A and B are shown apart, each in its own frame.
Chain A
């Protein structure tokens, strides 16, 4: 055999070396600029605001002192901690087994459960809380009315206006985070790892507990933390469900700050500090737990899928798997859809009260809702794409340790998620209304705020996918001549693809349902559906609230299904091409 050498001339090595570093620095510079604009600047403003007095506008530490010294201000923090911890634990207990059942077993109706769990995800939790008020208010809730009729009891079956009720509602709308993150990790995982345990005589349950779950631990931990943060930052649910008992949590207390005259904007910026501390602690614990353990589940070896047979456990498992779809989607949406189809919802669901008026109004008659639907879809789509792009690049730098101090980058992109939306909203306002960055009133400022707010989710998702992809796969590409960038685009990105679609949805969906961060940033032309829905709610127009909420759900689900359809279509085409023996 004759071989021609050298393929890479010696002299070009040094030039390539230079080019390699140039590219690296350009990417880094662009990334840093983006992060400074999107994250550092607004956060800087929040920090700056927190250090100023609301009345005098002077520098002070008084806000922070007041928060930690005042029982009235610490109590909501403790309530939030209780709520968030309970939500995180319950979401994990419900979400992880649910993900396993759907991803790994022959559970009947898996596709249906997947779609409904996504629908729960799509539902803004304040809508869910409204639905549950209709279902479980102590006197009028349909479930309680039914319970009284059936049992003749006086006391209600349940009272949604309690901490337990609030935890319940927050949990069922948070489980989808856990579900999506863990099930996409399971989808990516090599089945041999489980088979290995099974062949050693380990039972199905044992394998799940000792092999599968520990292997998806990064995803479980990330979703645990996200659930905790959800519990900390949700506003609508505690606002509706805890106000009657006078129980305040951080977000409702913040809302009070904004209701004060004059609004205590600087105090509310400072009020985020306890949240940041707690969440920082959580991420530290996660780091300690995961440490340097390796979670490479996609090695260089191929994988094939097989489903675990549940046999006699099929029905009990199905009952368990239906908890979230039924409580988060079916029941509340029955209530919501019935209201949306009413002429006057107080008359109840009787035939003479039925109308499609509110849908017709929202879709064909009212330019506000039409524009808001388009804006919501457009902004969420654009913002989710940017989020994933940035998140993947940052995660790649952090996971592959391309930079000294990459950990700092990780911290930076993670902070926004813990800051309640309304405070972020003020931060973005300050950051983007002064020249040369005056985007006020444009879609850009709304998109930028969405990108920054949800960057942590995109980053965590990308990070847990990357943890599962062996760096050797990239190194193999480097060693046959691919540049760092080429290895990334040709090897890493395609391998991440399934997870990235999940990641994109994981960002797209919360953007669709996000309310608070947009509140000071939207303009009449850039209004989104949630702000509009909240206005209708504010005006007491529940028929419109419910109709537009149903439309929001439909629009989001449409995009979600479309995204799945396209990616699965691509995967199938590749498979077919392979089986036909073509080399694409």
Chain B
């Protein structure tokens, strides 16, 4: 329940720059996902937010209070920020109840208040029955819930989650995603969620910051990120993506060999310069060779049935490949010539990656 402002935040370790001038605004009560591959700076950001690390430059503000600057870092215990760790960090020498009540006891609350909040937190993550177990008697998912309950019990202003689901199996992970979102909706705590899993980010977050090599690539709603990626990195990191290289033409078009494809131009590239057209495989349509506009021809190289759709890989006549997710009842066979329509509304011209 705090609005967080991150201003020009940087962190270097010797010559290595882990985070480069990062700007973020996390609205009060929002759930922000920091998304990116390993080494992108998302965990560094989280450590800085939690107060375990000191920025090399820049500031972190929560509401009107300066939490971190190179000169001064308010220690973790005074920031009102709870952190849930990737490896849970459940204390092995304490029972579930002791783990969760630890933070409460530090607050000099009355015994009954501690008990009440403990019960509330345990109920929230549905662990009431296991309160007297030791961690080694719990499954991974249960330990994860203990970690979450422990962080929530102290009613933090801000909750940080560091890849909280990465150690869980796929089934549990899916369930926990919704669980985390449910808890967030119930409590409305400003939450920052670090993950490398785009699915997790899209499902749980209000806002997503995609990071790479210490730089925020795009900061926006899940729809924005998915539908209007800021660059090819974001486009291919979030979901599947086709990139078609070509030369930009004036008025929202890209020339690929002899073909001109119309598309929304979101690049900063002058006509005549190389650029890239991006389109999601799910937006491609198989079509007749007669369709006049935005059509590419090729030969089916691979076709995989995935139940809900068919994943088709097409070698284009002009070089390059395209991946298309088509309705499962269509059965293009390998070696067959096909034509693909790229609806202009689904196409975006972006800067060519460096």
Q: Do A and B touch directly, given a CB cutoff of 8 Å in the complex?
A: yes
Contacts of B103 in A (CB 8 A): 477, 480-482
Indicate if B200 sits at the interface (CB-CB under 8 A).
Answer: no
Please name the residue on chain A nearest to B88 by beta carbon.
A300
Indicate if A352 sits at the interface (CB-CB under 8 A).
Answer: no
A residues 478-496 with Cβ under 8 Å of B? 478-484, 486, 490-491, 494-495
Complex contact A16–B77 (CB within 8 A): yes
Indicate if A260 sits at the interface (CB-CB under 8 A).
Answer: no
Complex contact A8–B82 (CB within 8 A): no
Q: What is the CB-to-nearest-CB distance from B52 to chain A, in angstroms, rounded to a whole number?
A: 6
Contacts of B51 in A (CB 8 A): 478
Contacts of B78 in A (CB 8 A): 8, 12-13, 16-17, 20
Contacts of A494 in B (CB 8 A): 93
Q: In the complex, what distance in Å separates the CA atom of A298 from the CA atom of B92?
A: 9
| Interface residue from B52, B76, B137, B143 paired with A300 (Cβ < 8 Å) | B143
Q: In the complex, what distance in Å separates the CA atom of A301 from the CA atom of B142?
A: 11
Complex contact B92–A479 (CB within 8 A): no
Complex contact A477–B187 (CB within 8 A): no
Q: In the complex, what distance in Å separates the CA atom of A4 from the CA atom of B80?
A: 13
Q: Give the segment of A116-124, A433-441, A467-475, A551-559 that binds chain B.
A: A467-475
Complex contact A480–B102 (CB within 8 A): yes
Mask, B129-161, CB within 8 Å of A = 1, is 001101111101001000100110111110010
Complex contact A578–B89 (CB within 8 A): no
Complex contact A6–B80 (CB within 8 A): yes
Q: In the complex, what distance in Å separates the CA atom of A495 from the CA atom of B136?
A: 14
Q: What is the CB-to-nearest-CB distance from B123 to chain A, in angstroms, rounded to a whole number?
A: 9
Q: What is the CB-to-nearest-CB distance from B186 to chain A, in angstroms, rounded to a whole number?
A: 6
Indicate if A14 sits at the interface (CB-CB under 8 A).
Answer: yes
Please name the residue on chain B nearest to A14 by beta carbon.
B74
Indicate if A26 sits at the interface (CB-CB under 8 A).
Answer: no
A residues 303-326 with Cβ under 8 Å of B? 303-304
A residues 1-23 with Cβ under 8 Å of B? 1, 3-8, 10, 12-14, 16-17, 20
Complex contact A484–B75 (CB within 8 A): yes
Q: What is the CB-to-nearest-CB distance from B264 to chain A, in angstroms, rounded to a whole number?
A: 43
Mask, B295-321, CB within 8 Å of A = 1, is 000000000000000000000000000
| Contact A302/B76 with A480-B151, A481-B103, A495-B92 known, Cβ cut-off 8 Å | no
Complex contact A7–B154 (CB within 8 A): yes
| Interface residue from A1, A480, A483 paired with B75 (Cβ < 8 Å) | A483
Complex contact B106–A486 (CB within 8 A): yes
Interface residues on B, range: 35 or more
Complex contact A583–B98 (CB within 8 A): yes
Contacts of B140 in A (CB 8 A): 301
Complex contact B102–A482 (CB within 8 A): yes
Q: In the complex, what distance in Å separates the CA atom of A7 from the CA atom of B134?
A: 28
Q: In the complex, what distance in Å separates the CA atom of A301 from the CA atom of B88?
A: 7
Complex contact A478–B154 (CB within 8 A): no
Indicate if A156 sits at the interface (CB-CB under 8 A).
Answer: no
Q: What is the CB-to-nearest-CB distance from A546 to chain B, in angstroms, rounded to a whole number?
A: 44
| Contact A495/B74 with A472-B87, A477-B102 known, Cβ cut-off 8 Å | no
Mask, B71-102, CB within 8 Å of A = 1, is 01011111111110101111111010110001
Indicate if B63 sits at the interface (CB-CB under 8 A).
Answer: yes
Indicate if A115 sits at the interface (CB-CB under 8 A).
Answer: no
Contacts of A244 in B (CB 8 A): none
Contacts A8-B80, A16-B78, A302-B143 known; 17 new A-B pairs at CB < 8 A: A1-B124, A3-B187, A17-B78, A20-B75, A298-B92, A299-B87, A300-B89, A302-B136, A476-B85, A478-B76, A480-B77, A480-B82, A480-B153, A483-B75, A578-B134, A581-B132, A583-B132
The 6 closest A-B pairs by CB, nearest first: A302-B136, A480-B103, A300-B89, A302-B135, A16-B78, A472-B89
Residues of A within 8 A of B (CB): 1, 3-8, 10, 12-14, 16-17, 20, 298-304, 470, 472-473, 475-484, 486, 490-491, 494-495, 574, 578, 581-584
Sample (17) of A-B pairs whose CB atoms are under 8 Å apart: A1-B187, A3-B187, A5-B157, A6-B157, A7-B80, A8-B79, A20-B77, A301-B135, A476-B90, A476-B147, A479-B82, A480-B106, A480-B151, A482-B103, A483-B75, A486-B77, A581-B132
